[in-house]
Amino acid sequence: MNAIVFSFVAFLSTVAGGFFAIRYREHLHTIISFSVGVLLGVTFFDIIPEIFAAAQENNLSVTPALVAVVCGFLFIHILEKLAVIHNAHEDEYADHRHPLVGTIGASGLVFHSLLDGIGIGLGFHVSTHVGLVVAIAVIAHDFCDGLNMVTLMLVNKNTRAKAIKLLVFGAIAPVLGALSTYLFVLPASLLLLYLGFFAGFLLYISASDLLPEAHSKHSSVLMLVLTVLGAAFIFFITRLV
């Protein structure tokens, strides 16, 4: 039940991000900068330590989970390249913006949101603590997903109505992902693999997508400070929890 509740919050976060992009697109970089720190903090201060702790508790090797981190990173990288997602450099592609490119790119982010929901559900399968931390990362990340879905659609000459329609799909995706995890139960070894994959996924999104976007136009001390504050926020949250 917790997974469903938090996936619904992710739904709201995605919708909020999309409509924020429509209303305040010129002020996005400060929020994205903080989100980068949050995602990096969740990856290194909680998910990866949890992998080591769970591996030790279940007398399992941590190597497969670390391989899964790399696989998760590369999988999302390949997915984005195949989907022609280039939201971090959208100004460089002014001469070839087409509706199909925006739709394919935004659809890739919908799939990201589906993975987010699965991450929440499987996180709660591990423990309430892991589920909560993964949910925090997903909620922060899905705001940016909603933001990027709408941005990709609009800058590639899609209509606002089409952008909102795809945003709705993206918002529903994490709820469907969380619900799907109630249809199966994974053993500890596979849960560790998924946590590793999800850590690689978050690492790629934060370092390769959001970080370049945050500093693409406003490379300032403030943006750097916000990123550090985001990571520090998660560090202290995980220590308190």
pLDDT in tens, 11-33: 998 898 888 877 876 666 777 78
Give Cβ neighbours of residue 8 (< 8 Å, ≥ 6 apart).
175
What one-letter code names the amino acid at 197?
A: F
What distance in Å separates the CA atoms of residue 241 and residue 227, rounded to the nearest whole number?
Answer: 21
Q: Which of 65-74, 87-96, 128-137 has the highest mean pLDDT?
A: 65-74
Where exactly are the structural domains of the chain?
2-21+29-240
pLDDT in tens, 204-227: 878 876 777 677 665 678 888 888
Tell me what pLDDT residue 218 has: 58
pLDDT in tens, 141-152: 777 678 767 766
What does pTM read for this prediction?
Answer: 0.65
Give Cβ neighbours of residue 80 (< 8 Å, ≥ 6 apart).
108, 209
